[in-house]
Amino acid sequence: MQPAQGSAGSGSGGSGNRQLKRWGPIIGVVAVVAIGGGVILATRGDDATSAPSTVPATVATAVPTTAAPATTAAAATTVAATTPDSGSAAGTDVLATEVPGTEAPAEITFPMSYSQAVKAGLDGQIDWGSRCDVAKGFIAVPDFFASECYAPFQGDNGGATTPGVTGDEITVVQYQGIANDPIIAYVTDAIKVEDTNAQGAETMKNIVRYYETYYELYGRKIKLITFEGTGITTDEVAARADAARIAEEFKPFVVLGGPALTSAFADELAARKIMCIGCTPGQPPAFYQERDPYVWGLDGSALQKQAHVIEFITKQLAGKNAIHAGDAFVNSPRKFGLLYLESSGASKDLADHFASEMEAAGTPLADVVAYALDPATIQATASQVISKMKADGITTIIFSGDPVAPRDFTKEATAQEYFPEWVVAASVLVDVTAFARTYDQDQWKHAFGVTQLPARTDPQKVGAYALYQWFNGTPPPAKDTIGVIAPNPALLFAVLQGVGPVLTPETFRDALFAADGTKAAISQPYLSYGDKGLWPEPDYQGVDDATAFWWNPTATGADEIRRDGTGMYEYVDGGKCYLPGEWPTVDKAFDPNGAVDIYLTPPPGEEPGDYPSPAG
């Protein structure tokens, strides 16, 4: 365990607390390869409402203003309000500006987005600085999903607000797994990812520098600490020990990342009242509710993925022949089997829930088979599983597992001359072209299903990789894994500037829950948090929508880590996405009409702005 030295970097819900008018970019979905681009969230531009009583009030501060005309400068005065009045949110800094010809002073509150300033008639009085494109009201970066500008802050931010937050710094820990973790290596070696922890740390440092340059942090800088874990990704004991050490030694406000296959790390941090983002595999809704407001994710939850998959299957596949399977099954009614990764008791509970929901929908599963993520036994397991599925006459295998195991299962299926349909059940990274190219292509040409990844765009032009290179003038050191590094800080900084000076886990949650869902796009997922009416419980994870796709074994192009090759996922109807309840009834798998494998230029209306690189 060798943590690096901490250092400061350089330079459809409620109306909320005037927070998060717009925030982003959030970079895609947590993954082990470079995935996704940016998205933005927008709150309603309603008037402020009272924040929870747990949020402390702060002293008021001043905001830099543009020079007033000579005829009005002498008449204008500013009055700092030390407590919010009934029209402003508790804990929000206020600066009242007397405008000649008006009966009452206008108020500048923090946080204040550009659109809020326009609505209040204050936009012309604020010096937005070079980071803001005032013609658009958004920060001047080449990202269609760039954040809205926020009023620059100056003065006293009130000082310390919570552990890990002082008047000058916000302590953030970047968690990294141990080098050469055999389980992670089993996944990344399949697509020859060679990024090191040192490269990941350097990439994160420069990502933080980007956000500090363009995002408003209300007088604070980031104290970034990189921490390398002590156990493999499934080691619960090491995960708890690491969380305890981080809490006791570094006392951070938030931890970014965590062990990929145990919830113990997030559980321990939450028990110590430390927030974490992307720090646990997906958990049931109760896990997050019981640890509110400390644990946050970006990918959709397992139950949310299930809901999409079940709706897709029941509307498009159930009661019909297995027309996408090999010749032996094309005229046979579909008979479904579930093949899933069992990594904990929660895995079996989720599989049982899926089977129950399928039966309730009138499409019972004929087989439910689990496998373990064990490189030493996966080949033997594949032989047994495929033999059983074939003997039971399963025409359609619903796969919910890791991204490497399909290589062994498909190879074995071909060896046994068994060619079923393969339905991808929104499984993380199984829906990534880089991995799918490693599967047996005689099998995977029968693969289709549901993904929560949006239709792909050229990573050299759009997204985390392109934005990093624009800001720094060089490609990211962690060129293959920037997609797993970038999402967590993107969420963090988007919310930080929307919260304002009074930063606590509670105000972080309130801002995130108050935000409406993201702007609709083809090349980006839709994210929302809190109770937006999409799910039965409040949502502590991000992605809500999904799209249909299928595997084209003859298409050529670049994969997610910019490597040219043969075989590409095709997105139905150009990547049109659906929220729960919106799935169509028409099966368009393997229909080339309207399908898109990659947008070499961004979809219409999603083009990034054109700004000079700060790196020259």
pLDDT in tens, 526-553: 999 999 999 999 999 999 999 999 999 9
- Give the CATH number of the domain where residue 354 resides: 3.40.50.2300
* C-alpha closest to that of 17 among 510, 516, 517, 518: 510
Confidence band (pLDDT; 50, 70, 90) for 317? Answer: very high
Q: Alpha-carbon distance 278 to 28, whole Å?
A: 12
Judged by phi (left if over 0) then psi (alpha if -120 to 50, else beta), residue 567 lies in: left
Instruction: Please give the order of strands across the beta sheet that includes 7-8.
Output: 7-8, 221-228, 169-176, 254-256, 275-277, 295-296
- Structurally, the chain folds into a number of domains equal to 1
Task: Establish if 419 belongs to a structural domain.
Answer: yes
* CB-count exposure of residue 71 (10 Å: 0-12, 13-18, 19+): exposed
Q: Alpha-carbon distance 482 to 200, whole Å?
A: 8
Task: Establish if 133 belongs to a structural domain.
Answer: no
Task: Establish if 351 belongs to a structural domain.
Answer: yes
- Mean pLDDT, range 488-509, rounded to an integer: 96
CA 70 to chain centre: 49
pLDDT in tens, 264-314: 999 999 999 999 999 998 888 999 999 999 999 998 988 999 999 999 999
Task: Establish if 530 belongs to a structural domain.
Answer: no
Bridge partners (DSSP) of residue 580 are none
Confidence band (pLDDT; 50, 70, 90) for 563? Answer: confident
pLDDT at 50: 31
Largest Cα–Cα distance in the chain?
89
Looking at residue 579, its amino acid is L
pLDDT in tens, 9-37: 333 333 333 333 333 333 333 332 222 22
392 lies in which domain range?
303-453+545-575
pLDDT at 138 over 80: yes
Task: Establish if 254 belongs to a structural domain.
Answer: no
Task: Establish if 560 belongs to a structural domain.
Answer: yes
DSSP 569-603: EEEGGGG--B-TT---S---TT--TT-BS-BSSPP
Q: Alpha-carbon distance 333 to 366, whole Å?
A: 13
Task: Establish if 308 belongs to a structural domain.
Answer: yes
pLDDT at 577 over 70: yes
- Mean pLDDT, range 508-513, rounded to an integer: 96
Task: Establish if 440 belongs to a structural domain.
Answer: yes
- Using only C-alpha atoms, the chain has a radius of gyration, in whole angstroms, of 25
Looking at residue 607, its amino acid is E
